[in-house]
């Protein structure tokens, strides 16, 4: 397990490092944002970040860390606590917010919670060889056989398919079964990183390349040396960067931003998209030569409507995870529930199915998964939190624009109201479910309903 501590107070860094090492973490230390950028390993299970650093706000560091690895558990620490900064840190993805001076027991509690989560995730990953690629349908059986066949051969793979069909899971399985399995698997969502930053993320830069580039920085291609780089949402990559990626695929060499010399890297590229890249080529949005370089082998992930016979197995697999998450013991599925999920389109595939199951798990009593009607007014927006560690997909957007601040407040208000009602109006339990301290939950609740 890997941890990071960033704080300009050496005593704080030393104390946190000692406690983390006692709990089995290896620790990277940084006293500023630039120190952090200089670290070779920027992928962490847990990070403690000071709010006020000499060269940047800790809020911005959270964004950087979460862009690198959305699963990193980040804790904000500061001597300048305020409700506004707490809210902002939590919105950026922090799991907790601690004021200095803090108690060692509070730090140990957070660390142990993260350790337990990591162990559960590890056990969950070992549950089945293909994780959610389970089932006996012809469609998924062909995918599993294809993965086994192509994994040992060092060719580029393009994975296509609708949202929520398991494209990244397939990519990880190809890596796991390949000769590169003991080397890094690095995933990057091309749609989640701004276009002007994506090039530096992939190819890195040298000191002085632009304002703020005070030290050399490795790109993701270099960090994936000997392993696999997974480019999700490849159809969103800007044309200007596509040409540079194409050259790397052809020569295995690249030039970091601002560098005068090229570097080489031995990296397998697996890419994924839910777009029709051939149509994008016709529209001029994607390079045809890059398409053929990426798609030496193409895998099309089947949608759930192509493998409906697998749905009961998938539900059972998801139930195991949710039983553990919510402390339930649901072992049966009602006929009404199965009939319902088989009757709807499930455009979000496994992701949408999991959302439906989770709602019913929360409300079901006893050992049977029951179907519940969710009467949501048609004039309201819908919020689906299928995986709290992943981003969101906008299904629609008003042409006149939105008030982002107001929307974020409405989303927060809806989540707080939902959890508060589902816990029987228990504020302590609601705070725990939302990963907040009681004081933080009470502040938010009073803000909207006080």
Q: Where are the domains of the chain?
A: 2-125, 141-302, 304-374, 400-450
Q: Taking a C-beta distance cutoff of 8 angstroms, is the pair 236, 286 a contact?
A: no
Q: Which CATH superfamily is domain 2-125 in?
A: Response regulator (3.40.50.2300)
Helical packing angle, 438-449 and 404-422, nearest 10°: 110
Q: Which two tokens stand for residue 331?
A: 């072992």
Q: Is 161 left (phi over 0), alpha (psi -120 to 50) or beta?
A: left
Helix or strand (DSSP H, E) at 46 = strand 46-50
Residue holding tokens 């399985």? 173
Residue 407 has φ and ψ, to the nearest 5°, of -65, -45
Question: pTM here?
Answer: 0.57
Structurally, at CATH architecture level, domain 141-302 sits in 3-Layer(aba) Sandwich (3.40)
Of 31, 28, 33, 32, whose CA–CA distance to 47 is shortest?
A: 28
CATH number of 304-374: 1.10.8.60
Whether the Cβ atoms of residue 105 and residue 112 lie closer than 8 Å to each other: no
CATH classification code of 400-450: 1.10.10.60
Output the tens digit of pLDDT for each of the chain's 450 residues.
788 999 988 988 988 999 888 888 888 998 988 888 887 666 788 998 888 888 888 888 888 887 777 778 888 887 775 666 667 777 777 888 777 787 888 888 888 888 777 765 554 444 443 455 788 899 999 999 999 999 999 999 999 999 889 899 999 999 999 999 889 999 998 887 887 788 888 998 888 888 777 788 888 999 899 999 999 999 999 999 999 999 999 999 999 999 889 999 999 999 999 999 999 999 999 999 999 999 999 999 999 999 989 998 889 888 888 888 888 899 899 988 988 888 888 888 888 898 889 889 988 888 999 887 654 444 556 677 767 777 777 766 777 788 888 889 889 988 998 888 888 888 888 888 999 998 888 888 888 887
Tell me the C-alpha distance between 347 and 359, whole Å. 17
In the structure encoding, which two tokens stand for residue 158, read together?
A: 């393009």
Q: Do domains 2-125 and 400-450 have the same CATH topology?
A: no
DSSP state, residue 238: -
């Amino acid at each position: 397990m890997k941890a990071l501590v960033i704080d300009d107070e050496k005593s704080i860094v030393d104390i946190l490092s000692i406690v983390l090492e006692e709990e089995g973490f290896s620790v990277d230390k940084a006293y500023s944002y630039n120190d952090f950028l200089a670290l070779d390993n920027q992928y962490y299970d847990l990070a403690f970040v000071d709010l006020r650093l000499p060269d940047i706000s800790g809020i911005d560091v959270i964004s950087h860390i979460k862009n690198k690895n959305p699963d990193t558990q980040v804790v904000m620490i500061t001597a300048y606590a305020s409700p506004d900064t707490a809210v902002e840190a939590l919105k950026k993805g922090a799991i907790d917010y601690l004021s200095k001076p803090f108690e060692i027991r509070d730090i140990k509690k957070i660390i142990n919670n993260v350790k337990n989560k990591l162990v559960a995730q590890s056990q969950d990953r070992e549950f089945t060889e293909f994780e959610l690629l389970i089932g006996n349908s012809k469609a998924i059986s062909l995918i599993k056989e294809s993965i086994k066949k192509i994994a040992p051969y060092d060719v580029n793979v393009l994975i296509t398919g609708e949202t929520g069909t398991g494209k990244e899971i397939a990519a990880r399985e190809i890596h796991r079964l390949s000769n590169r399995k003991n080397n890094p698997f690095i995933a990057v969502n091309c749609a989640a990183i701004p276009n002007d930053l994506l090039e530096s993320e992939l190819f890195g830069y040298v000191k002085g390349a632009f304002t703020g580039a005070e030290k050399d920085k490795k790109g993701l291609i270099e960090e994936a040396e000997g392993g696999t780089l997974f480019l999700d949402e490849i159809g969103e990559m800007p044309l200007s960067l596509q040409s540079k990626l194409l050259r790397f695929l052809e020569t295995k060499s690249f030039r970091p931003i601002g560098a005068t010399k090229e570097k080489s890297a031995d990296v397998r590229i697996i890419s994924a998209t839910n777009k029709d890249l051939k149509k994008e080529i016709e529209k001029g949005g994607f390079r045809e030569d890059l398409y053929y370089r990426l798609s030496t082998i193409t895998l099309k992930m089947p949608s759930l409507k192509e493998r409906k016979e697998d749905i009961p197995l998938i539900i059972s697999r998801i139930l195991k995870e949710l039983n553990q998450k919510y402390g339930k013991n649901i072992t049966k599925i009602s006929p009404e529930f199965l009939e319902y999920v088989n009757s709807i389109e499930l455009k979000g595939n496994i992701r949408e199915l999991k959302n439906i199951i989770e709602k019913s798990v929360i409300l079901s009593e006893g050992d049977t998964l029951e179907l519940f009607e969710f009467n949501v007014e048609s004039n309201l927006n819908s919020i689906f939190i299928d995986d709290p560690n992943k981003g969101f997909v906008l299904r629609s957007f008003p042409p006149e624009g939105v008030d982002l601040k107001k929307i974020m407040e409405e989303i927060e208000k809806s989540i707080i109201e939902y959890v508060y009602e589902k816990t029987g109006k228990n504020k302590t339990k609601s705070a725990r479910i939302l990963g907040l301290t009681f004081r933080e939950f009470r502040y938010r609740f009073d803000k909207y309903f006080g």
